[in-house]
Amino acid sequence: MAEAAQLWLEDILRTGADLPGATSHCTVDAFRAFADLTGDAHPIHYDPAYAAATRFGKPIAHGLLLAAYTALGATPPRTA
């Protein structure tokens, strides 16, 4: 696999930047595994009945889990 070109901050933070990466999905299993790892087992993250009664209406990802999924460089580039 060829090494990706080095990107700098000014390459990324510009209008219309396209930063393709691998596609992934946050699943209930990922939420539960993250809760097990961090100890944050709040039902807002995995209990649909509990979450339905909140302003979100459905389970939401842990903030740190979402940050990990979206962190710059967290995924390998997609191949054509």
pLDDT tens digits along 39-76: 988 999 888 999 999 999 998 888 888 888 777 666 66
Whats the size of the chain, residue-wise?
80
Q: 75 with 24: CB under 8 angstroms?
A: yes
Residue 1: what pLDDT?
Answer: 59
78: pLDDT confidence band, cut at 50, 70 and 90?
low
Which sequence spans correspond to the domains of the chain? 33-74
Write the DSSP string, 22-66: ------HHHHHHHHHHHS---GGGT-HHHHHTSSS-S----HHHH
Q: How far apart are CA 42 and CA 77, in angstroms?
A: 33
The whole model's pTM is what? 0.56
- Name the phi and psi angles at 59, rounded to 5: -60, 145
